[in-house]
Chains A and B, each alone.
Chain A
């Protein structure tokens, strides 16, 4: 009896000879002669993405850092990707999977423009909305998780829906989707979401919120995230989507930091209280 579960049910080489991978279909064999293996963990990663809906649009932000484990590896990676003037997608998680999705979205955009043509007000109505994009991405993510080959990301999709109302929703590597007036992925779900919910507790509050207040709340959250999230940095991208289009800034610096609180922290490292 062999106690390794991997061996259970497998033909023994000393009886049957070693497995001949020639008989595996191409999709399963590749060159190695072993079964296909899939991503088991993310490698280069981006941290939180946060977003808030306000009365006539959405504000979204993510910093420009791509980490390699605990190493701050790339410091100029833009994790907010605009899509056709109506939507922005914010990516957390694996950066190479983000780049794959970005290529996917670009080809989708080309396809859309090819079939809907013209650049006029009438055609703008037929453009894919943020809601359409979110539905599409959720299907992509769910399909990949069902194939046991996940895209290791948490996405926020924001912008306008067909009727022009602000839209904000999330998808993750499992294909789980949800929508709320404020959303945050990763560490942001713990650190930024409570702050954002204090500003925008419900849908009604978001309908009363103006752009300046929304931007201020998001900037404040980016600062808190930089204070506490060890995988974050002080340069970030921020985008505002409203009916005039996407206003994306990719080189913002955190303002008005105060590390005074750091002195109060006790109980870590070599300190003696």
Chain B
């Protein structure tokens, strides 16, 4: 059962130079349902697939608005994400209080990156088992950042993480060129379609399982759920019926290598 002797804590390297606990934490991200983020020159969009643990339960929260100008989408351990988002909320309020300015997305991402890194270097700590997409608009325009349990953060044009997200990424890579100049509506469509790509065949995007968040220059971060996403779903997937090429290509791909 045990892979080896070097995965009991997150402070010991394996002879190959790997820290297994961190890698396992990254596996936790892949257990979470898919989330997608895209930025254009004017907007940043997050889209997520929500799961319910059982028929009787409610759906999980995948997108958390943090401040008026940004929010995050999570894949992995929701409770770890909550710890991080609470920290981010506090830092964001602190920035508004001490400087009267919205915190820069690069700053807040770096701060949680630093926090996550200390968990990989102190004995008795455990890495965060969650991946985040942090999207919003600050003084320097729209941004999307990816955060990983290892503490690695990077700015992205488009990104998908979570279960079966490879298909979403393939979709995003295929349309990469068009994102920068996309309008708000086009960007939303791309995000929803990317999420749709990752769905297993028997699943559909519905008003219950879809979360969408949009922020733009002069448009505060807003989360759309339930009835509010119906419109977006209708306009996005009406066209889908006509030309659904590309779906077959995605189907055969391996999940989360």
Direct touch of chains A and B (CB < 8 A)? yes
Interface residues of A (CB under 8 A from B): 115-116, 122-123, 125-126, 128-129, 131-132, 135-136, 139, 162
New A-B contacts (13) at CB < 8 Å, excluding given A132-B100, A136-B99:
A115-B106, A115-B110, A116-B104, A123-B140, A125-B139, A125-B140, A126-B104, A126-B140, A129-B101, A132-B99, A135-B99, A139-B97, A162-B139
Closest chain B residue to A118, Cβ basis: B140
Question: Inside 8 A of A129's CB, which chain B residues have their CB?
Answer: 101
Given A115-B106, A115-B107, decide whether A131 and B100 contact each other with a Cβ distance below 8 A: yes
Q: B98 at interface (Cβ–Cβ under 8 A)?
A: yes
Question: A-B pairs with the 4 shortest C-beta distances?
Answer: A135-B100, A126-B139, A132-B99, A126-B140
Kindly list chain B residues whose C-beta atoms are within 8 Å of the C-beta of A115.
104, 106-107, 110
**Complex Cα gap A126–B107 (Å):** 12
Q: What's the nearest-Cβ distance from chain A to residue B192, in Å?
A: 30
Q: Does B138 contact A (CB under 8 A)?
A: yes
- Cβ contacts under 8 Å, B99 to chain A: 128, 132, 135-136
Q: Nearest Cβ distance between residue B91 and chain A, in whole angstroms?
A: 13
Q: Is the CB of A126 within 8 A of B138?
A: yes
Interface of B with A (CB < 8 Å)? Answer: 97-101, 104, 106-107, 110, 138-141
CB-CB under 8 A for A139 and B140, given A116-B104, A126-B104: no
Distance in Å: Cβ of B103 to nearest Cβ of chain A: 11
A83 to chain B, nearest CB (A): 13
- Given A122-B140, A125-B140: A135 in contact with B98 (beta carbons within 8 A): yes
Asked if A132 contacts B101 (CB within 8 A), the reply is yes
Docked complex Cα distance between A234 and B234 (Å): 74
A-B contact pairs, 20 of them (CB 8 A): A115-B104, A115-B106, A115-B107, A116-B104, A122-B140, A122-B141, A123-B140, A125-B139, A125-B140, A126-B138, A126-B140, A128-B99, A128-B101, A135-B98, A135-B99, A136-B98, A136-B99, A139-B97, A162-B101, A162-B139
Closest-by-CB residue of A relative to B96 is: A135
A162 neighbours in B (Cβ, 8 Å):
101, 139
B132 CB to closest chain A CB (Å) equals 20
Give the interface centre of A116, A122, A126, A139 by most chain B CB atoms within 10 Å: A126
User: In the docked arrangement, what's the CA distance between A122 and B104, Å?
Assistant: 13
Rounded to whole angstroms, the CA-CA distance of A35 and B31 in the bound complex is 58
Which B residues lie within 8 Å of A123 (CB)? 140
Name the B residues within 8 Å of A126 (CB-CB). 104, 138-140
A79 to chain B, nearest CB (A): 24
Complex CA–CA separation, A131 to B99 (angstroms):
8
Chain A residues contacting B139 (CB-CB under 8 Å) are 125-126, 162
A87 smallest CB distance to B (angstroms): 12
Q: How far is the CA of A116 from the CA of B99 in the complex (A)?
A: 15
**Please, how many angstroms separate the alpha-carbon atoms of A135 and B97 in the complex?**
8
- A16 to B79 alpha-carbon distance, docked (Å): 56
- The residues of A that contact B110 with a CB separation of less than 8 Å are 115
Shortest beta-carbon distance from B92 to chain A in Å: 15
Residues of A within 8 A of B98 (CB): 135-136, 139
Kindly provide the distance from the CB of B39 to the nearest chain A CB, expressed in whole angstroms: 15
Q: How far is the CA of A136 from the CA of B42 in the complex (A)?
A: 30
| Contact residues in A for B141 (Cβ distance below 8 Å) | 122
Q: Which residues of A contact B104 (CB under 8 A)?
A: 115-116, 126
**How many Å lie between the Cα of A126 and that of B101 in the bound state?**
10
Task: Name the B residues within 8 Å of A116 (CB-CB).
Answer: 104
Which residues from chain B contact A139 at a C-beta distance below 8 Å?
A: 97-98
A92 to chain B, nearest CB (A): 23
Question: Closest residue of chain A to B95, judged by CB?
Answer: A132
Cβ contacts under 8 Å, A132 to chain B: 99-101
CA distance A131 to B110 in the complex (A): 24
Docked CA distance A129–B102 (Å): 12
Measured CA separation A128–B97 after assembly (Å): 14
Q: Of B99, B106, B141, which is in contact with the most chain A CB atoms at under 10 Å from its CB?
A: B99
Minimum Cβ distance to chain B for residue A122 (Å): 6
Complex Cα spacing A132 to B106, Å:
18
Q: How far apart are B224's CB and chain A's nearest CB, in angstroms?
A: 28
- Please report the C-alpha to C-alpha distance between residue A122 and residue B106 in the assembled complex, in whole angstroms: 14
Q: How far is the CB of B136 from chain A (nearest CB, A)?
A: 14
Q: How far is the CA of A189 from the CA of B90 in the complex (A)?
A: 39
Q: Would you give the shortest CB distance from A53 to chain B, in whole angstroms?
A: 18
List the A side residues contacting B100 at CB < 8 Å. 131-132, 135
Nearest opposing residue in chain A for B104, CB measure: A126
Residues in A with CB closer than 8 Å to B138 are: 126
CB distance from B153 to the nearest CB of A (A): 14
Q: Give the residues in chain B near A122, CB-CB below 8 Å.
A: 140-141
B229 to chain A, nearest CB (A): 33
Assembly CA distance A37 to B196 (angstroms): 67
Q: Report how far A136 CA is from B101 CA in the complex, Å.
A: 10
